[in-house]
Chain A
């Protein structure tokens, strides 16, 4: 017997987690549907997950290495990793924050766990990021860069950035229902974050007195963790920096899922 009643604010993360676990088959079906719809019709199919970061890396390589004459041979790889991690974050937040509005007719017709719509975007971007990362070992072998034990830290960067984006999406998708202008704010915010997160420059270029401020941004930290994990250099991402980013991510997720579960029912009425 089901009794519909309003959930308490702090049970949000547990409700989200339980709901995703219970409906994992449906979530997996939705992610596979999106992969099929996104890449299924293209001649190059899933190769686009590799071509997109390669293209942007070439553009940055042209600007910073060839035109500006930077001699750093690792710069293209640094840029590529920055682009991969940042675009996973930005696409998850951008699409996730408008998921309730885009699926309003479905939501008004069927009762199903709405957090699946947000988890669907996060899951899709997670798979897309994994597929895109295939280019990294190929590039490393081509450039003669050896693998280090630090590669074990790569999952922290991948899971961390997706969970962080998922937390923001859960929060923003509710706010966007009440204030549609928030879509524009998200768009502008993501563009600003692109320049502030060290996507096309490594944190080694940041003056020492500002480095800690830079790494307070968890997106910048996850990009640096990814670079450190691949290149075997953890001089910037200390255990404290990693734990701080993970802690911020956890707080964003808890707050985001609490907001989502507390206000989703009122948001649905306003769709």
Chain B
């Protein structure tokens, strides 16, 4: 793979259940590891995509189109049934805040745990702890158990951790806005810093303005297929609307 390429998907195919069903007969129990015929599935089919280092890609598509599944494939959470996913660099998926949080541990202990689960060496996370605490603005409650935190405080701590991960490839599954107005402003600034740095960024969002403001290239997904890949953001947004209208008519 060319060293300027951050991510490369070649003929990627993945079938995944949309609604989970449980086996109802003994016969079906024997087909445990194969796909069951009664299962309602969706498919990401024949995805070919090459993303260069430093690109900021927006992913558009209606709910259930396969956007989040694509991000999980890129981050290594899902593996393709067919084809290959090649990754050149450290990758982080930011899909929710407070990953791996343990409510009975203190905020400080949760920083170390969550940071380590995101793939940072423990020593590095420990070195980042003061900066994370400062960014979160939770100095007074950082040694209290997480169960005493409000949901806003938990989200602030979660965002402060992911803001310090410093990955080479950053995947956002819906951009978040948490905390009070001052924290939201700092969050927005930090996201912009991450996006404007050297990182390769892929953003899944329904926020068209965000696509216009940040993305250099947009891909549209519909029914598990990559229907458009363009640097013209307006074209991508209008294609997204067309697909949504078709879907509404159906």
Contact = CB atoms under 8 A, between A and B. Distances in A.
Interface of A: 1-6, 25-26, 29-30, 33, 36-37, 40-41, 105-112, 175, 178-180, 263, 265-266, 268-270
A29 B105 contact: no
Interface in B10-60: 14, 16-17, 20, 22-23, 29, 32-33
Interface in B77-107: 77-80, 84-88, 91, 93, 95-96, 99-100, 102, 104-105
A5 B119 CA distance: 20
Contact of B122 (A3, A4, A26, A263): A26
12 contacts: A1-B86, A2-B86, A4-B86, A26-B122, A33-B102, A106-B100, A109-B93, A111-B119, A178-B23, A179-B22, A179-B32, A265-B79
A110 B99 contact: yes
A5 B100 CA distance: 26
Given A110-B77, A111-B77, A266 B117 contact: no
Contacts of B20: 270
Contacts of B14: 269
Given A25-B116, A29-B113, A37-B102, 4 more contacts: A2-B87, A3-B86, A26-B116, A111-B93
Interface of B: 1, 14, 16-17, 20, 22-23, 29, 32-33, 72-73, 75-80, 84-88, 91, 93, 95-96, 99-100, 102, 104-105, 109, 112-113, 116-119, 121-122
A265 B78 CA distance: 6
B9 to A, nearest CB: 10
Contacts of B109: 33, 36
A82 B6 CA distance: 55
B97 to A, nearest CB: 10
B104 A37 contact: yes
Contact of A268 (B77, B100, B102, B121): B77
Contacts of B17: 269-270
Contacts of B116: 25-26, 29
Contacts of B78: 265, 268-269
A3 B85 contact: yes
